Amino acid sequence: MKRILLTVLIIAVAGIVYSQQSGNNVSGERLSLNNITRGYAPMDNNAEGSGILPVLLLLSPFNPMLVVENEKAYFALTKEAALGFPFISLGPKKGTIGKIGFEYSYVFRSERSDHLRAFFDFCYPLEAGDFAAVLVTVGGGYFTDTKKAGLFPQVSLGILAPFSRGFALDLYIKGRETFMLKKEESNIFDLSMGVGLVFYPW
């Protein structure tokens, strides 16, 4: 089950990377960090309700997630919030974004139902437009459910769409494998999709 889901995610990411690279070769244009940070035309800071909307999004329903542990599948709900910032400039016409975040997940089972994660992501823009950007994100972080602890790599495909000055929605599909620090404990695979909240003060 885990292998099938991970294979589907990798194929989807690879297909989009290939199509974007082909399009870039035809047009001769390269993506830039400037397109992501300044090309969106976000709403004005003084717009009515712009400060309330991020809070409402954090309190909105969680995103669905499938958790596979010890060869058993569980349904879960998850929510993440992150801080985005310019990370590495790969040249005058190309750049990346860094993202530090926190994620809470609730797994529907009788024990160890609370999953807490802190993570760092490296986001590469595939395509940037006036109102959104398509990103491939690779990263990792620390996991705990208060009884077990581990480290995880993760990969996601998402769309970053600013809706107010300093805030953006991250619509994503994400897969990861969490490796426990103790060898006798079983690893955890999860696949999720939904909307995250990103704060970018730059």
DSSP class of 46: T
pLDDT tens column, 55-94: 666 666 789 999 999 999 999 999 998 998 887 765 555 6
Tokens read off for 174? 């994400």
Answer yes or no: is pLDDT of 102 > 90.
yes
Ordered domains of the chain (ranges, CATH): 2-199 (2.40.160.20)
Position with higher pLDDT, 129 vs 146: 146
Tell me how far apart the alpha carbons of residues 176 and 103 are, in angstroms, rounded to a whole number: 13
Residue-wise pLDDT for 2-60, tens only, equals: 454 444 444 444 443 333 433 333 333 333 444 444 433 343 444 444 566 666 666 66
Interatomic CA distance for residues 112 and 46, integer angstroms: 43
Does 138 score more than 90 pLDDT?
A: yes
For the question of whether the overall pTM of this predicted structure is more than 0.85, the answer is no
The tokens for 24 are 């870039």
- What does R_g of the chain's alpha carbons equal in angstroms? 18
Reduced to 3 states, what is the DSSP secondary structure of residue 89?
Answer: strand
